[in-house]
């Protein structure tokens, strides 16, 4: 039996790491805890000079009622679901064949195309916002779902992430599918897609969170109130209706982020697995 000292000492670095992660997690969750606390308080407690994390009078239902009465919360959530789901599906339709070709097919110019994909990762969306806006204006697509969805159907990050995962799939599996008579597109959707669910889920989390929280692009292409996305709708609610009623404003924000939290909790295992297997850090 090893001495107690030799068994305890290796635990010190592990304890320090867990302690640092716990402190970081608490610091990260602090804004969400503050939002939930504010959404649960009446206005008198929010402006009180005494800080209480737990409300003395629970007013979450009242604040939710005010938010739903003064802002089209359900419409905002529906718009967010339509836009993010459409973008994600279209991105997969493009990224899956492209990633498969870059990972498993041998053709002239493959490395050049991969370099262009990596170059695309370096270009921020704001750099191309003006030409894309002018293109949509010329096509008459501004102030529509198409303006929110069409510019994001090609995701270079999705191509890169799925390509990294496809490179881990054995070539023998693909050769067997070819022997069975499957076409290359058939291999993509009937062989590669079922094996790539962790990477597909991980990419889905990245895509949905990015476009659900996008404020910049909807701000410049949308004018109609019925097309407002969640961030833009909450900002408009803050400017026009909520004012200094922070309880109702935080209640609206709570409703808007709930779908993202639920989606991540349901998919976190696949998300972590996908990030691990693709070699992303």
Do the domain assignments include residue 127? yes
The CATH number linked to 171 is 1.10.3720.10
How does DSSP classify residue 155? -
pLDDT tens-digit profile, the chain (281 residues): 445 454 554 677 788 888 888 889 888 888 888 889 888 988 888 887 777 788 888 888 988 988 888 888 899 999 999 999 999 999 999 999 999 999 998 888 889 999 998 888 888 888 889 999 999 999 999 999 999 999 999 999 999 999 988 998 888 989 898 988 889 899 999 999 988 888 898 899 899 999 999 999 999 999 998 999 999 988 888 777 656 788 888 898 899 988 888 888 887 777 676 666 654 54
Do the domain assignments include residue 38? no
Number of domains in the chain: 1
Burial of 24 (0-12, 13-18, 19+ CB in 10 A): exposed
Buried b (16+ CB within 10 A) or exposed e, 45-70: bbeeeeeeeebeeebbebbbebbeee
* Residue-number span of the structural domain to which 164 is assigned: 67-277
Do the domain assignments include residue 176? yes
């Amino acid at each position: 039996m090893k001495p107690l000292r030799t068994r305890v000492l290796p635990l010190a670095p592990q304890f320090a790491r867990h302690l640092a992660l716990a402190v970081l997690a608490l610091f990260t969750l602090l804004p969400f805890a503050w939002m939930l606390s504010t959404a649960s308080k009446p206005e008198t407690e929010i402006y009180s000079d005494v800080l209480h994390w737990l409300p003395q009078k629970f007013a979450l239902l009242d604040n939710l009622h005010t938010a739903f009465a003064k802002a089209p919360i359900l419409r905002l959530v529906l718009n967010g679901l339509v836009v993010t789901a459409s973008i994600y599906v279209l991105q997969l339709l493009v990224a899956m064949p492209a990633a498969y070709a870059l990972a498993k097919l041998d053709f002239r110019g493959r490395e050049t195309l991969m370099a262009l994909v990596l170059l695309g990762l370096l270009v921020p969306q704001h750099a191309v916002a003006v030409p894309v806006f002018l293109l949509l204006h010329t096509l008459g697509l501004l102030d529509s779902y198409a303006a929110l969805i069409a510019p994001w159907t090609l995701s270079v990050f999705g191509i890169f992430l799925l390509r990294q995962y496809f490179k881990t799939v054995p070539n023998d599996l693909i050769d067997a599918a070819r022997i069975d008579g499957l076409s290359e597109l058939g291999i993509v959707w009937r062989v590669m897609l079922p094996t790539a669910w962790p990477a597909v889920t991980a990419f889905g989390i990245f895509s949905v969170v990015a476009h659900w929280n996008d404020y910049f692009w909807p701000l410049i292409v949308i004018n109609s109130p019925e097309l407002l996305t969640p961030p833009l709708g909450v900002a408009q609610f803050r400017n026009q209706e909520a004012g200094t009623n922070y309880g109702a404003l935080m209640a609206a924000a709570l409703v808007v982020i709930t779908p993202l939290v639920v989606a991540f909790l349901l998919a976190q295992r696949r998300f972590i697995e996908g990030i691990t297997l693709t070699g992303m850090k």
